[in-house]
Amino acid sequence: MPSDLRTTTTPTGRAGVAPHDFDDLRAQLVAATRGPRDSDALAQAGRLLTTAFADRAGGAALLSSWADRLRDGRTTVRGRSQVHHNGFAKISLARLDGGWNLRLHVWPAGQGDARVHDHRWSFASIAVDGALDVVNYSRDTGPDDEVRPCYRLYDATGDGEKRLERAPDEAVRPTSSYRIGAGAFHVLDFRDPHVVRNTTATDAVTLMLSGPARREFSHSYGARDRDDVLPAPALVDDERAIDHVRLVAARLRSA
């Protein structure tokens, strides 16, 4: 069944004035996510992030101000940073009221999702540098669609593990594909399966704002070696998180 939140790949104008530092960006995102509809909030947030990173030097300054804040010991409410099982660095930048989370993702060249999947929450993602290829899928089935093993993944426990639960096999088929290049964003509903891959020869960097969870589990399609738990990913400590962010900032300045 089509969801009411459709993918957006082209910004419909910029929103507001570019923030002067990370605290300003955070305040703008807090204001944008106060509304009752995730779809409206994510579209507005996508435009805010597009404005914030339209100028590469300005985007570098925003990221550097986040790294300076963390280095100086100033408190920032955020989740844990980690190396995702799909091979990309996932740096938590801020956790906002209402279950919203802002993360920086660094996808190495050639890296991508191992399986078609959806999420517990909807999200907006902007390409800060480089490009990612996206394929969206539908659960609408036809006689020739391939049936795949399906698993439910529940939210991570305190130690980072995720409970796996075998679900009935399902068929999914590709419905759209596109490339998100630097400066573009897309918005995806939590019910829409997809895969994301970096098929280029350079790292791709994205900022992702995820909304509040709308169910207890996500779905993952494809065979697995085990069906009880997904092991905790490797954590990224504050020092390495700062290094990741500073390297992205330097990359933006140098282009």
Helix axes 22-32, 56-71, angle to 10 degrees: 100
Helix, strand, coil % (nearest 5) of the chain? 25, 35, 40
Question: What pLDDT sits at residue 6?
Answer: 46
- Residue 15: pLDDT band with limits 50, 70, 90: low
Helix axes 38-52, 56-71, angle to 10 degrees: 100
Residue among 107, 75, 94 nearest 210 (CA): 94
- Residue 4: pLDDT band with limits 50, 70, 90: very low
> Does 1 score more than 70 pLDDT?
no
% of residues, the chain, pLDDT over 70: 93
- Sheet strand arrangement including 194-197: 173-181, 131-138, 194-197, 116-117, 217-221, 147-154, 162-171, 229-230
Q: What are the pLDDT digits (tens) for 70-123?
A: 999 987 899 999 999 999 999 999 999 999 999 999 999 999 999 999 999 999
Question: What pLDDT sits at residue 59?
Answer: 96
> Does 206 score more than 80 pLDDT?
yes
Strands 185-188 and 81-83, bridge-based pairing: unpaired
Q: What are the pLDDT digits (tens) for 32-80?
A: 999 889 999 999 999 999 999 999 999 999 999 999 999 999 878 999 9
Place of tokens 């169910």: 215
Which residues make Cβ contacts (< 8 Å) with residue 200, sequence separation at least 6? 109, 130, 131
CATH code for the domain defined by 22-254? 2.60.120.10
* Alpha-helix runs per DSSP H in the chain: 22-32, 38-52, 56-71, 238-254
Least confident of 12-21, 52-61, 135-144, 206-215: 12-21
- Residue 2: pLDDT band with limits 50, 70, 90: very low
Overall average pLDDT of the 133-160 stretch: 88
Domain boundaries, the chain: 22-254
Q: What are the pLDDT digits (tens) for 163-195?
A: 999 999 999 999 999 999 999 999 999 999 999
Residue among 110, 70, 74 nearest 91 (CA): 70
Question: What pLDDT sits at residue 226?
Answer: 84
- Residue 16: pLDDT band with limits 50, 70, 90: low
Distance CA 167, CA 212 (A): 23
Question: What pLDDT sits at residue 151?
Answer: 97
Rounded mean pLDDT of the chain?
91
Task: Indicate the residue type of 153.
Answer: L
**Residues 59 and 252 sit within 8 Å (Cβ to Cβ):** yes
Residue among 41, 63, 14 nearest 207 (CA): 63
> Does 9 score more than 60 pLDDT?
no
Q: How far is CA 90 from the centre of its chain?
A: 9
